[in-house]
């Protein structure tokens, strides 16, 4: 699986935007970029995913570099509930049985200050 690199931790203030970076310089053409987050004492939850174009949903936006070697998860207005570990994951969807597993790194611990 292609590897991702994220900062260990980041801090933000409540109601301010947060930009969480992820580097994936060895990404292949069939790798989707997925983001999950894990709140304390809970299982991970899906946030967003994309392939080449920027993506928006109700939780966040995903900005993907033109060369796809990096991406940024954007939380437009951080709340205390957004404090979590955020994981950037590449999923190869080249075949029906590939792309099944999620390969988590250590993620970025986001702290949101009131």
Partner 1 sequence: DTGVSQDPRHKITKRGQNVTFRCDPISEHNRLYWYRQTLGQGPEFLTYFQNEAQLEKSRLLSDRFSAERPKGSFSTLEIQRTEQGDSAMYLCASSPLGSYNEQFFGPGTRLTVL
Residue number, 16 or 45, with CB nearest to partner 1 = 45
Q: Are 62 and 50 in contact (CB under 8 A)?
A: yes
Q: Are 99 and 91 in contact (CB under 8 A)?
A: yes
Minimum distance of partner 1 from residue 112's CB (angstroms): 20
Minimum distance of partner 1 from residue 82's CB (angstroms): 18
Minimum distance of partner 1 from residue 13's CB (angstroms): 25
Residue number, 49 or 111, with CB nearest to partner 1 = 49
**Cα distances (angstroms) measured from residue 82 to each of 39, 70, 100, 107:** 8, 22, 27, 14
Give the SS3 label for residue 80. Answer: helix
Which residues lie near partner 1 (CB under 8 A)? 32, 34, 41-46, 49, 85, 87, 91, 93, 95-107
């Amino acid at each position: 699986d292609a590897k991702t690199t994220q900062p260990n931790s980041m801090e933000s203030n409540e109601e301010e935007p947060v930009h969480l970076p992820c580097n994936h310089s060895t990404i292949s053409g069939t790798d989707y970029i997925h983001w999950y987050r894990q709140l304390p004492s809970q299982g991970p939850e899906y946030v967003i995913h994309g392939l080449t174009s920027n993506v928006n949903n109700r939780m966040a936006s995903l900005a993907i570099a033109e060369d796809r070697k990096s991406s940024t998860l954007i939380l437009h207005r951080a709340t205390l509930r957004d404090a979590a570990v955020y994981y950037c994951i590449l999923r190869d969807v080249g075949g029906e049985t590939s792309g099944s597993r999620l390969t988590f790194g250590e993620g970025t611990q986001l702290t949101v200050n009131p």
